[in-house]
Structure 1
Amino acid sequence: MNTGLRISAFAAAIVATFGTAYGVGASIGPVVAEKPPAAHDEHKETGGDEAGHDGGADEGGAASAAAGGLQISESGYTLALDTPRVVAGKSTVLRFSVKDDSGRNLTSYEREHGKELHFIVASRDLTVYRHLHPTRAGDGTWTVAAKLPAAGGYRAFADFKPAGKGATGITLGADLAVSSTSEPAALPSVRASAEVDGYRVTLDGALAPGKARELKLTVSKDGEPVTDLQPYLGAYGHLVALRAGDLAYLHVHPNGEPDDGVTEPGPEVSFTATAPSSGAYRLFLDFQHKGEVRTAAFTVDVPAAGAGASKESQESEESEEGESHGH
């Protein structure tokens, strides 16, 4: 990649508008740097019922293999992003709505994990990630303040479930352009650990295309295991996976929940997830400790089925085969 390549503000907007998979931006923010911005207002909760959220997952937390967030419209609903362009480094109010097939704003949602709607913004190079908490007006318009640090193409995701019997979870995605002079960044390398604010998070396990796999993330601080994680969005951890290139969205939740009599508040948080395909992914783990939410990020490589499968995947497959053929 030519590090001398630069794009103008106008070009950045065009890039995002046409949904290109080429990413730009800098490695900053709590998900990619050892020292995050001073404030984490975007993470702070405003209360609410900590209800369960399947996020497209089946029992036990296993996510569907279908990729979400690739379409702006699905199942009769459309994500209408009223602020498709913002300026890098400047706090801006993002406005959007979810419209039904008649063009009316959706105003009735099922609360999932304490929220009617989860709103994620990520840069196309996956070096900037924000899990935001918008508020809804009576007319169905959502607003949230955000400061995106690097210029380039971004993707905004709305993860929600319309109210009503038989409704299923939906994830819609729309392009967002952040203007300023920028320089493309490479996808961070694959590592089994991440550092954030003095915390170390290690990843054990591997994703496989079309198959449910367990991922275990262990949190420590100053070399000591963290055993008093606090619930965040109704769980001890919140995981989002985005596929490099098209930013296909995979939203999963932990195995177990606080106060279920089984799940411990750390140091380990376990998830079960299914990758929709092979390829590179970025995993973003939100966890709360001592009243503050932090985000640890990982790059993982998902090999094609049967080609260079990881040791963890092979062991898991052998275990499953043994169980299915047992007498």
Structure 2
Amino acid sequence: MRRAGFHAGLSLVVAVAMLLAAPRAWAHVGSKDVFEQVDAGPYKLFVTIRPPTVIPGVAAIEVRSSGAAVDSIEITPMPMTGEAAKHPPTPDTMKRSADDRAFFTGNLWMMASGSWEVRFRIAGAEGEQVAAVPVPAIALQTLKMKRGLGMVLGLLGLLLVFGMVGIVGAAVRDARLEPGAGPSADRRLRAGFAMVAALVVMAFAVWGGAKWWNVEAASYSRDIYHPLVMTPVLTGNQLQLQITAFKPKVKEVWRESRGRSNNDFLPDHGHLMHLYAIRWPEMDVAFHLHPALTGKGLFEDALPAMPPGEYHLYADVVHANGFPETLTATLDVPAGTQGGALGPEDAAGRPAPVSSGMLGASYTLPDGYVMVWDKPAVIHATTGYAFRFRLMGPDGKPAADMQPYLGMAGHAAFVKTDGTVFAHTHPEGSAAMAAVMLADASTGGSTNTGMSGDMPGMAMDMPMNATPMSNVVEFPYGFPTPGRYRVFVQMKHGGTVETGVFDVMVN
């Protein structure tokens, strides 16, 4: 919310401007939409949630169903935690497409910033099921009013001011005249004084409206989301990441930070932090690491052997209320740094530099295995896809010794080559798994499969039966903007974590 084109300073302009303000929100870096594959009993849903651009605001929701036939879907917005989570509003019914009976759309109001969930009640031939998808909704920025609209509203405001002054003058001058009589000089003089007084009163009203506007704008600005600050310090190969609260320029603390701490993190796949370190600008070295929490807001890790250079750090954490954050920083690794061995749950990849050209849909790994991306011929921005990857053995056959990596069939990071987008995703979708588990627990049962049991009291361990794992993994995701992206995919076979790397140009 920012004053623009507010020439008359009228409260009318203020009110309209508030309605036009459009903050944006996202959980990953530059990637706000949520893409999730949900298993609700016999029903399979591919869910796309586009969080509101105004807080309070409306989230747009799309669902494509498969599996058992779905007759109807009801959706309800709920905070993930707190008293309001116990009192859900009346659900809305999604609209079924007339052209595609498996496609549903709907809209929901999200009334405050923070960690939300959308609860789905699915009805069909196989009965009713309930599922939930977490949605972080945060005001990230504000937009100016369009100059033309501001000028129009300003002119209308001036018209109202001078119209009111004219009405006061006419009332004093002509209100008590007999029919056909003209005003005397004394009446005209009193009317002039009345008009001046009215103008002064209106000026004070405008000034008061402007003051009110500035207070509201400042209050709204304090709600703008700022991630926690991550400061890296490298001593030898010992990396320290100090997490602290964002310190605004104004004295008042950002209100939403009261719900986020540097000491309230939930485990996600057995780790409190998932750290991607990508060498920039060529993106030719990438690590997926897991620093340990050693003090309040302090994470530490012994780095493996890393080629020197500037690394962009992306650290995923999840707060106790289910709100995910990706903290960012830059780390310079000097030449001669002696690193240790790669951790058993860490991963590394060394693809060709981005400047050498586009990587293809097949990536040969150092041990002879090959990862293949069944990439669509054309990929459009803002469209949800289930991207499918396969791990093949050196003999060209599907890898037969597959194992879960951090409790999942795989992990993927979608990174734009200009650094504006980073998203760490899983086979269930782009939402953080710890948040998914919180939302899932709120429904009274497990509707999302394949999750690792990270959180106390949640029996959601990934089934470990005799059935071999597939060499195929799918990641629901939609690229937020056009441009070139590099995709890092981790899958595990035997005791080896493989990192396949692919490039894609998004239309």
| TM-score, normalization by structure 2 | 0.42
User: 1:127 touches 1:188 (CA, 8 Å); kept in 2?
Assistant: no
Q: Give 1:276 shift.
A: 1.2
Counterpart for residue 231 of structure 1? 404
Counterpart for residue 99 of structure 1? 244
Bigger Cα Rg: 2
Counterpart for residue 480 of structure 2? 276
Letter in 2 for 1:234: G
Distance in 2, matches of 1:152 and 1:65, equals: 37
User: 1:282 touches 1:300 (CA, 8 Å); kept in 2?
Assistant: yes
Superposition pairs for residues 203-222 of structure 1, below 5 Å? Answer: 203-206=373-376, 207-222=379-394
Out of 309, 312, 317, which is 1:160 matched to? 317
Q: Give 1:241 shift.
A: 1.1
**Residue aligned with 1:131, SS:** strand
User: 2:33 touches 2:50 (CA, 8 Å); kept in 1?
Assistant: no
Report whether the alignment pairs 1:172 with 2:376: no
Distance in 1, matches of 2:413 and 2:356, equals: 17
Would the alpha carbon gap of residues 185 and 285 (structure 1) be closer, same or farther in structure 2, given more than 3 Å must change? closer
Would the alpha carbon gap of residues 279 and 63 (structure 1) be closer, same or farther in structure 2, given more than 3 Å must change? farther
Report whether the alignment pairs 1:140 with 2:297: yes
Q: Give 1:63 shift.
A: 7.8
Counterpart for residue 37 of structure 2? 60
Would the alpha carbon gap of residues 114 and 64 (structure 1) be closer, same or farther in structure 2, given more than 3 Å must change? farther
Task: Return 5+ residue gaps in structure 2 as ranges.
Answer: 1-31, 39-46, 52-139, 141-223, 247-252, 337-352, 429-448, 451-461
The alignment covers a number of residue pairs equal to: 234
Q: Give 1:180 shift.
A: 4.5
Counterpart for residue 415 of structure 2? 242
Distance in 1, matches of 2:262 and 2:491, equals: 30
Counterpart for residue 360 of structure 2? 191
Q: Give 1:76 shift.
A: 4.9
Distance in 1, matches of 2:301 and 2:427, equals: 26
Counterpart for residue 285 of structure 1? 489
| Highest RCO, 1 vs 2 (Cα 8 Å, sep ≥ 6) | 1
Counterpart for residue 231 of structure 2? 81
Distance in 1, matches of 2:477 and 2:48, equals: 5
Would the alpha carbon gap of residues 218 and 153 (structure 1) be closer, same or farther in structure 2, given more than 3 Å must change? same
**Residue aligned with 1:163, SS:** coil
Distance in 1, matches of 2:369 and 2:290, equals: 24
Distance in 2, matches of 1:149 and 1:77, equals: 27
Q: Give 1:215 shift.
A: 0.7
Counterpart for residue 37 of structure 1? none
Distance in 1, matches of 2:399 and 2:323, equals: 35
Would the alpha carbon gap of residues 63 and 75 (structure 1) be closer, same or farther in structure 2, given more than 3 Å must change? farther
Distance in 2, matches of 1:136 and 1:286, equals: 24
The C-alpha deviation readout for 1:99-126, integer Å capped at 9, x for no partner, is 2347997111122222222111001211
Superposition pairs for residues 309-320 of structure 1, below 5 Å? Answer: none
Letter in 1 for 2:419: D
Would the alpha carbon gap of residues 157 and 187 (structure 1) be closer, same or farther in structure 2, given more than 3 Å must change? farther
Would the alpha carbon gap of residues 78 and 221 (structure 1) be closer, same or farther in structure 2, given more than 3 Å must change? same
The C-alpha deviation readout for 1:124-154, integer Å capped at 9, x for no partner, is 2111100001111132310112246433322
The C-alpha deviation readout for 1:190-246, integer Å capped at 9, x for no partner, is 301111121111101344311111111011112111244111122011111111022
User: 2:35 touches 2:384 (CA, 8 Å); kept in 1?
Assistant: no
User: 1:148 touches 1:178 (CA, 8 Å); kept in 2?
Assistant: no
Out of 253, 270, 276, which is 1:120 matched to? 276
Letter in 2 for 1:78: L
Give aligned-pair identity as a percent: 25
User: 1:65 touches 1:210 (CA, 8 Å); kept in 2?
Assistant: no
Distance in 2, matches of 1:185 and 1:151, equals: 17
User: 2:229 touches 2:245 (CA, 8 Å); kept in 1?
Assistant: no
User: 1:243 touches 1:282 (CA, 8 Å); kept in 2?
Assistant: yes
Task: Return 5+ residue gaps in structure 1 as ranges.
Answer: 1-54, 304-327
Distance in 2, matches of 1:65 and 1:279, equals: 20
Distance in 1, matches of 2:289 and 2:420, equals: 17
